Every structure is written in C-alpha cells, then in structure tokens.
Structure 1
Amino acid sequence: MFSKHFRKYILKYGIFFLFGIAVLILIDYIQLDVPKILGQIIDLLNPNITQMSQNDMKIQLNSYIKEVIIVVLIVAFGRFLWRLCLFVTARKVEFELRNTMFSHATKLSQEFYSHEKVGGMMTYFINDLAAVRMALGPGIMMFVDSLFLGGFAIFRMFRLNSQLTYLVLVPIILMLVSMILINKSMRRQFLIRQEKFHDLSDFTQENFSGISVIKAYVREIHELNTFDRRSEELYDMNLKFFKKSVWVQLITTLATNLVIILIIGYGSHLVLNNFILADGTYFTSGNLVTYLSYFSALSWPIMALARFLTVSSQAQASAKRINDFLDSPVTVYDSNVIEDIKELIPSIEAKNLSFSYPDDNITVLHNLNFTIKPGEMVGILGKTGSGKTTLVDLLLRVYNVNKDSLFIGEHDIMTLPIRLVREKVGYVPQDNFLFSDTITKNIGFAYDNLSDEEVIKAAKLSDIYDNVNEFKEGFNTILGERGVTVSGGQKQRISIARAIAKNPEILILDDSVSAVDTKTEETIIKNLHELRKGKTTIFIAHRVSTVKNMDKIIIIDQGKIVDIGSHKQLMKKSLFYQDIVERQTLEEMVEGGHIDE
C-alpha cells in the first residue's frame, strides 16, 4: 500500500488524510464524555447518593442534558467532516489510480496483451481498485478507531476501576492474538480468490465475444459445464475466505458478550459490597453504567479491528496485483527522438530489415530491402503467415526494430516520436474492429469534430453509403459489440471509411477488401486512386486482383522478399508470381462454374 505507485497519491492527498484522522481522533475523545455524563445522571437520581433539593436536582439534570446535546452536535459535525476527508479522498485516489492504470495499459506492447487477456484485466480496474479504496477510506477509519477510541476507552476504564479492567483485558488480548493469526491466512486466501475471479472473468468475456462460434459448433453445454466448474472453484475460494472472516466475527462477538457478562456480574458485586475506589468514593450504580458504556464504546473498536483485518487482507492482496500490473515494462517508447519534425515525407525504405518477436527467437522477417516513394500505391502480396502483418506492425511502431533498418522520409523510425508516426499513418486492420457506437462516430473516430459532410464523403468513397442509408437509423445506427450487427463486408468498408476520414500521409490497408465482392473491391480501389494522389497507400493482400493495378507489388514469402515490380513486370520475370496468378485464376474459374473441378 505504500509502494511507489500508491505513495505519490498518499503524499498528494496526505493533508486531507491527516486532517480527517485528527478530527476522528478528537471526536473519539469527545464522544466518551457521554458515558461519564450518563453515569452522573444515574447517581443524581439515586436519593441514597445525592443530597440535593428537588429544584437543585432539576437544575443539575438540565445542565447534564445540555452537555450531552453539545457533545452530540460536535460529534455529528465531526463525523461529517472526517467522512468527507477520508471517504471522499479515498474516492479521488481510486479515480486517479484508475486513470493511471488505463494510461499505462495503453502504453503496453502487444507482447503484454499476448499473455494478458481482457476479461482478466478488468478485475484490476474493478475488484482490486475497490479493495484498495476500502482500505484508504473505511480501513483508515477502522484502524484509527481501533487504536484511539479503544485506547481512550481503556484509559478511562482504568481510571474508573483498574481491578475490573485487568479482568476485562484478558479475553480481549486472547481475541486479538487469534484474529492476527487468522488474518495471515486470510490474506493468502484472498489473493488466490482474486486470481480465480480473474480467470472466470476472462473466460466469461471470451465466451460472450465468441457466442456465435459456440452456437455454430453446438458447444453451449460444454462451455456451460466449464463455466460451472470455474464458478464452483471461485465459490469454494470465496467460501474459504468468508469462513475465516466469519470466525473473526464470531470470536469478536463471543469475546464481547463474555466481557459484558463479566462486567455486569462483577460490577454488581462491587456495587452491592460498597467497593471503595482509588479516590475514596464508593463504586456506584452510576459508575457501573459509565463503565459498561465505556466498554460498549470499546466494542466498536474491537469489531472495527476485526473488519480492518479483513479489509487490510483484501487490500494488500489487491495492491500487490496492481503493483505487478503497473510494474509491467513499457517496451515501446520514445528514446532519443527528433522532436522538432513538423512535416514527414510519406516515403518508406527498408534496409536489411529483420525482426523476431520479443518472446520468440524465430526470425519472422529476413533482410527486407525495398523503397516506397511518396504518392505511390503499393501492394504487398503473400500467403497467410508470410510476414505481411508483421511488417505493418513495424511501420506502426508496435514493436521496436534495429537501428537504421526502417525509415519514414529521411528519418530512422526509431528516432521519430511514436505519436507522430501514428498520426501520419492510417491503418485498416484485418479484424476491422468497430466500437459499440454510432456509424458516424466510428467513421469519425480519428477526430472529435468531423462534420457530417466529411463522414458522408468517406462513406461514399468506401462504397458503404448506400448500405448505411438502408438502415432504419442511417448513420445514427448504433453498432453492436465489435460491429456484430453488420456483415463482414460492411465492417470492412466502415473501417476503410474511418481511415479515409483521417486522410493520413501514409495509408495501410491490411487485407481490408477480402470480404467484399470483386465489383465493390474495384470501386474502392478506384476511389482511393483518385483520392490518394500525392499520398502513399499500401495494400496488404493475398489476392492478385487487389494489387494488380498498383504502381508496385512487393512479394513476400516466409519472411523474405521474393520479387518487386509492377503486375506486367512480374508476369514476365517472376515464376513465383506467375504461379500465384495461375492458381487464383483457376480457383475463380472453378468457383464461377467455367470448368469442372
């Protein structure tokens, strides 16, 4: 809880925490005046003790009542004040910490997300943060009450009757020792419980995202059984944790009630036998009521300590998980960048570019050498798994590359600010990810203030305009999660419209027309030819029809460049390209029914 990731917030809001704690301590001290006044009232009404006239008794009684009212008002205002300082400040820490975690999540590399799943990560932002907030707000309150309200109550109990207090402390100390021992086990149990919840959240999210596949393969029962098993594991861990929590509550309740019985029994004995106190006065029924009230005030700190141990166990386990997440290294970042670049020439050059994924020693790209001039429309052709998408990731600075191996304009990509690279490069990914928002917001995602006219223009250029107008709500149609409410071809065209609306200096389309028919593909490419004059456009594809009219085609196979040239040039000199064209031509003829299989 006091590691570097939490310390800065505790220091930032330390004055509020300290002020809240100071007010809480003051209220803890003042509120113990009520039992004292209550005992004085009891003795005042006892004619065997009070030697006053009825009128003087009324005056004294009114004075006591006024004191109680003043104490109650001070306590009420004080409680409002410390709750404001502690609970609201804890919410602020939670808010800022959540934003820090989200910011860190956006900086983490693809390597991290290949190991960490989305469903599991949500537990960091919800359950774990809530546990930390509980420790910083209610947890601090419980700890201070346990320490100071309990301490003040015990001090006053000693002053009133030390002999009775020694008897009372024996079961309390035994109870505290047992709770501390149980707490160590609870902390380990909660950490395991959070991991189980992490796994269940990830499994649930993945199943909801892939529900159509589950139904298509009739795997509902299998997934339900798996969910039931994982849910039962979480249930068992919760049960084990809360059983120990119940044991803490049970021990606390039993010890408290036993002490109350002890106080009433032994205290009554002292009253009946006229026990003489240290100041020479008798131990009266009013003293017994005061003492019992002090212990009643002490019972909350005892319960608070039990609850604090539970909250503390949860918070420490959650804080460790959050610390581990925030300690995850950001491997792709600006280092020795050139900050004063205002314009970037949209040319790309690779010089002996090789690449292996950080968690794998296998080389994916081998000594690539090519040049893409400004304004060129280039196709990158290759089979599935040949390294095309990896090359795109490097152009987007998703991964680090070797120095002097990849250039944009005249600059090594490793010396360019990541933000500048990604602002200048537009990207249409293979999965065509769409957000659960309107079509207008999805197309205008790159800018907050894109006009309706610009959205419509982008939709027309990507040949999705007519389809959108067929929807009941038109461009205000809200898409389902990941665009599930539209077809694959429509998703691709909306994604292309989003990239067109950004109008970047370099546009990369990664197999982005594979789900549309040939006519639509030709329309989109034709529109991009007219729109993208003077700007660089790269088509990643596995179909020859997509790239045959490009200025240049780069053929990649098994991470190596096989050949480079236009369609005509490659048809003359590249046997590899000729083989691809022949195979795809035969496939089209078979699909069209022109020849028998």
Structure 2
Amino acid sequence: MKHLSRLNKYFLKYKWWIIPGSIFVVISNIFGVVPAQVIGYAVDLITENVHVYNLFSGFNRQEIVYDIFSSNLLYFGLLVVLLYILRGLFLFFMRQTIILMSRHIEFDMKNDIYQHYQKLSLGFYRRNNTGDLMNRATEDVNRVRMYVGPAIMYTINTFVLSVLIIWSMFDVNSKLAIYCLLPLPFLVIIIYYVNTLIFKKSGKIQERLSDLSSFVQERFSGIRIIKSYVREDYTRNMFEIQSNEYKKDSMSLVKVSALFYPTMLLLIGLSTILTIYIGGMQVINGNITAGNIAEFIIYITQLTFPVTMLGWVTSLVQRAAASQKRINEFLDIPPDIQSKSNDETEINGHIRFENVSFTYPDTGIQALKNVSFEIKSGEFVAIIGKTGSGKSTMANLMMRMYDVEQGQITVDGQPIKALNLKNYRGQIGFVPQEVFLFSDTIKNNIAFGLDQVTDDEVFDAAKNASVYHNIIDFDEKFETMLGERGITLSGGQKQRVSIARALIKSPKILIFDDCLSAVDTKTEEDILQNLGKIMQGRITILIAHRISTIKNADKILVLDDGKIIEQGTHNELLSLNGAYTDLYNNQLLEEETKGI
C-alpha cells in the first residue's frame, strides 16, 4: 500500500464524499442483515402455527388460526420487501457518492500527470517513448480509479457486512457460529498467497501494454515509410509477437483468478454443510430453533458476496498498486529545468555565452566545448557548421531547454537560470529543424503561440512567411484542417507555416534552426527580407547550411566538433581563407555542377 499512499491527498480533498458514502454503506448493510432475522422469526412462526393448526384439526378455531397465520406471514413478507427497498435506496446513495468521487480523482490525477509531464525537460522525452507516457496517463490511471472507487466502496461494504453478519451469528449461537466460520482462516491464507502473484503479474502486464502501445503509436506515425518499403507483413508479424507476449501474461493472471474464485465458493459450501449438520444437532438438543438454521443459511449466503468481493477487491488493489508504482516513477522525477523567479520583465536580448560546455546526459555525447561569443540587441547572427557540430544544441541552450554543465549563459547581463522561464520563453520565437504542426486548422497552428489573435494578424504572419498565397488556394483557406503532423502540406509549406507561427508573436529573439532547407531560393529571399523589417532592433539567430542564406548576417559563427573555429562577417570570414571559405567554395561548386 506504500505506492497508493500518494492518493491520500485526493481522499483528503474529497473527504465530504467519502464520509457520507461510508455512512450509506453502513446503513444499507444494516437493512441487508435485518431481513435474515425477520425470515428466522417467520420460519419459527410458520412452524408454531402449523403445529397449532394441526392441534385444532376438526375444530372451527382452525380457520381463525389460519387467518392469523396468513396475516402475520403477509406482514413479515411486506416487512422484508420494505427492508430491501430501503437497502437498495442507500446502495444507490453509496454509489452516487463514492463512484462519483473516483471519477473526480481520476480527472485530477490525469491533470496532475499531464502538468508534471510538461514540466520535465527534453532529456526526459529523449529517454521515454510516447506510447509509455500515454499508457501511464490512461490505462494506469484507470486502474487506480478502480481502487479509489469500486475497490474502496466494496472494501467498506465487505468489512461492515462481515462484522454485522458475524456479530449476528454469535448473538444467535456461538458454537454454530464458530463451526460456520472455520473455513475462513484457510481463505485468508489463500488470499495472501494470491495477492503476491497478482501484484507481480499486474506490473508485468502493464509493462507489456506500454510496449505494445509504443509499438503501435510508432508504426502508425511511420506508416508512409512502412508502405514505401513494403514492410506491412513484417510489422504485422512484429505486432503479433508483441500481442502474444501480452496475451501470455494476461492469461497467466486469469489462471490465478480462475483458481481463486472456485476455491472461495468451495469454502462457502463447506460452511453451509457445517451449518446444516451442526445446526440440526442443536435443534434436536433444543438449543436453537429451525428458524435460526434458516437465518444462518441466509447469513452464509450473504457472506458469499463479501468473500467473493474480497477476492475481486484484492485483485483491484494489487493492480492499482502496480499501476500507481509506474505512475509514481515519473511523478518522482524532478524537473531538470526549474524557474526560481516570478518577475516578468521585457528582455532586450543581449545574449552572452561564457566558456559554455555541454554534454547530453542520456547519451554522453559532448555537443559543445568551451564556447564563448556575444550577440548584441538588434543583431542578425548566423550559425553554420557540419552536421553534429552543435548548432541545434546552441539553440536549445539559448531557450534553456537544457542547463549548461560548465560556463554560463547570460541574457541582458543576468544568468539565464535567474530569469522567469515562462516569461523568457514567451518572448522567443522558435522554428525547429523538424517542423511539427498540430492536427488542427492552419489558422490555429499559426496562432498557437498566443491566447488571442485577430484574423488580420494571422494573415500578416502568413504573408511575412510567404505562405499566404498557398493557403488561400485551398478550398477552406485558413480553416483547412491539417492531418497528423501537418501531413496535408508539403515540406516547404509546413516550414513556412511554422515560421508564421513564430513571427506572429513579434518575438524579442527569433531562432531559426535550419528551417529554410525545403524552401526555394526566391521564397527564402522574400522571407529574409520580411525578417529584416519585422526584427528591426531585435535579435535574429539563423542556423543554416546554405551560405547564400546567411551571407548578409551581422555575425557568422562557424562551428566544428562543438567549438567555434571562426566568427565574423561574410567578407571577413572569406578573407581568412579557412573553414568558411572551404564551405563557400564547395557550395559554389555544387551549384555549378547542378547548373551543368
């Protein structure tokens, strides 16, 4: 139960649902036990009246006895019906409080998990796949809900009903009660043994389900690659292997449950046999009446429900504990990137890297090595280098997606760690190398970075990104729905919509991470001209591979193997006749070759 202790805060929050629900459980069970006593009295009454009726055989009084007997029997019958109606009413109240509470807790848990996920750094998402994250926030939460709702409700119900029944049994006859309850210790031992098995198997099943969900999610995302390489049969076979592993573990759990329930029913049957045998001897000895035996049989029948529920509840609790353990594993991960300031200030964008080194914690790859440079407010700075030289890492560090391990990054003279992270990122426009668009309208994708925007602002952003004319050619124009990851658009259109999403924010710092690779030269020039007007007096950082894209930059940083090997303007770097010049000459040669 240590894993489930995290749920105590929710129980405290919804205490005014649990307390009335528990009271309704007690009342409903009182109305459930009393009918057994009424039936016991009724059986004794029948026995006595039959005896009296036979004594008056041949006399007129026999009809009077019969009328009294009939009216009393009707009275007891109506009383039993009334008691069960009252029990049903309070059972309804019980479910309306406890089950509804479980839905509220489920809602709170999903929100808390999602909120915590959003606080975690990029490194967390590099280490964990999407399918597993989704499974913990859905399937695992649903299993926990079965604990906070049905499991708790039936646990209270089982405990109260068992106490009332056992107390009533001993109140009638202690000897008979002891014999009836003899099989219970064996049941406790079985439950303890099965608990352990269910907990282990439930945890393994949830892991299998996460793997299966991750596999399916990844294959659906890459369906175009699968079809292009004609690998449908291969992926189907892989899915079948994963499914068989999940089925194998699930069937193992089912076998444990299948053995558990018949064993419980067998023990209940033994109790019934003992009741009839020992009770019959007690009736012969005159210690109890026949009505008491009927009462005991009803008690045993009623005990069948809590005993059966005990096994089911045990399974629910163990599955919930296994799921909560998986949820806690991620909830216990503290965010790597934390904001200690609440001040909201407008930045000018003076960025300085001072001897910055960075190694990715999940791979151990050192991306930057002792990097130092300065970007002043209003500058257009370009970063160029070979693949894997650390360009994207530099952009991630500027946005504080990761924290540096050595050196320091300052913004307007303040350490980047001292800034209000939400306020700081809100003033940055970022266009990633791998464009991601949501399954929504084009308009909403462009307006994603702001809470409120006008149509004119969306149109202007699209024009500045040179994508406006493409959009209005669609039948639904800006209301066109995009497929998953923007699959409706071409590569260049997706990049330009992503650029429009960054420009609409009017950011103080604009970072382009090689996002013009799928754009033709003419469109690229139009976008860069628009940027020159929009970003006047603000910082623009452009990561690119094509020198034609960055030749007009105020400063160009040349990266190689995580180090800045050259920096300066286009002409200054050419005069050095170094790495930048080699890149420039190679690209000129490629263009000439293409022209031929």
Give the CA deviation at 1:463. 1.3
Distance 2:275 2:40 in 1: 15
Match of 1:419 among 414, 422, 442: 422
Match of 1:283 among 268, 279, 289: 289
Distance 2:548 2:269 in 1: 84
Match of 1:72 among 75, 81, 84: 84
Aligned 8 A contact 1:348 1:409 in 2: yes
Amino acid at match of 2:299: Y
Q: Quote the residue 2:27 is aligned against.
A: 26
- Name the TM-score, length of structure 1 as normaliser: 0.93
Distance change in 2, residues 1:82/1:311 (3 Å)? same
Distance 2:456 2:113 in 1: 37
- Name the TM-score, length of structure 2 as normaliser: 0.93
State the secondary structure of the residue aligned to 2:37.
helix
1:349 equivalent to 2:352? Answer yes
Q: Quote the residue 2:306 is aligned against.
A: 301
Deviation >4 Å, runs of 4+: 1-4, 49-52, 264-267
Q: Quote the residue 1:222 is aligned against.
A: 234
Q: Quote the residue 2:170 is aligned against.
A: 158
State the secondary structure of the residue aligned to 1:353.
strand
Give the CA deviation at 1:403. 7.7
1:11 equivalent to 2:12? Answer yes
Give the CA deviation at 1:70. 3.8
Distance 1:207 1:145 in 2: 46
Q: Quote the residue 1:118 is aligned against.
A: 130
Give the CA deviation at 1:261. 4.5
What's the CA shift string for 1:427-483, capped at 9, x where partnerless?
011111111111111000012321111111111111111222222222111111111
Distance 2:533 2:125 in 1: 38
Match of 1:529 among 532, 551, 555: 532
Distance 1:119 1:357 in 2: 23
Distance 1:218 1:50 in 2: 90
Q: How does 1:410-489 map to 2 (within 5 A)?
A: 410-489=413-492
1:197 equivalent to 2:212? Answer no
After alignment, is 48-57 or 579-588 more displaced?
48-57
Amino acid at match of 1:455: V
Give the CA deviation at 1:95. 1.1
Give the CA deviation at 1:33. 0.7
Distance 1:421 1:221 in 2: 49
Aligned 8 A contact 1:403 1:414 in 2: no
Distance change in 2, residues 1:50/1:562 (3 Å)? farther
Identical-residue share of aligned pairs (%): 37
Aligned 8 A contact 2:28 2:91 in 1: yes
Aligned length: 584
Q: How does 1:108-187 map to 2 (within 5 A)?
A: 108-187=120-199
Aligned 8 A contact 2:44 2:289 in 1: no
1:508 equivalent to 2:508? Answer no
Q: Quote the residue 1:48 is aligned against.
A: 50
Give the CA deviation at 1:304. 0.5
Distance 1:563 1:407 in 2: 22
Distance 1:496 1:327 in 2: 36
Distance 2:344 2:447 in 1: 26
Distance 2:325 2:118 in 1: 21
1:385 equivalent to 2:395? Answer no
Distance 1:49 1:328 in 2: 76
1:231 equivalent to 2:243? Answer yes
Distance 1:373 1:39 in 2: 93
Distance 1:142 1:393 in 2: 51
Distance 1:350 1:322 in 2: 38
1:321 equivalent to 2:333? Answer no
Aligned 8 A contact 1:462 1:497 in 2: yes
Give the CA deviation at 1:163. 3.4
Give the CA deviation at 1:160. 2.8
Distance 2:407 2:127 in 1: 30
Amino acid at match of 2:10: Y
Amino acid at match of 2:42: I
Give the CA deviation at 1:162. 3.4
Give the CA deviation at 1:171. 2.6
Distance 2:344 2:493 in 1: 37
Give the CA deviation at 1:311. 0.6
State the secondary structure of the residue aligned to 2:516.
coil
Amino acid at match of 1:218: V
Aligned 8 A contact 2:31 2:84 in 1: no
- Ranges in structure 2 where 5+ consecutive residues have no aligned partner: 54-63
Aligned 8 A contact 1:128 1:315 in 2: yes
Aligned 8 A contact 1:397 1:421 in 2: no
Amino acid at match of 1:229: I
State the secondary structure of the residue aligned to 1:405.
strand
Amino acid at match of 2:338: Y
After alignment, is 425-434 or 355-364 more displaced?
355-364
Aligned 8 A contact 2:359 2:405 in 1: no
Aligned 8 A contact 1:509 1:539 in 2: yes
1:333 equivalent to 2:333? Answer no
Distance 2:21 2:285 in 1: 41
Amino acid at match of 2:296: Y
Distance 2:8 2:71 in 1: 55
Aligned 8 A contact 2:462 2:468 in 1: yes
Q: Quote the residue 2:259 is aligned against.
A: 247
Distance 1:371 1:141 in 2: 63
What's the CA shift string for 1:468-502, capped at 9, x where partnerless?
22222221111111112221111101100111111
Q: Quote the residue 1:541 is aligned against.
A: 544
Aligned 8 A contact 2:343 2:420 in 1: no
Q: Quote the residue 1:39 is aligned against.
A: 40
What's the CA shift string for 1:386-407, capped at 9, x where partnerless?
1000001101111112586212
Distance 1:261 1:514 in 2: 83
Distance 2:46 2:363 in 1: 86
Backbone CA RMSD of aligned residues: 2.1
Q: Quote the residue 1:588 is aligned against.
A: 591
Amino acid at match of 1:24: V
State the secondary structure of the residue aligned to 1:34.
helix
Amino acid at match of 2:589: L
Distance 1:5 1:371 in 2: 47
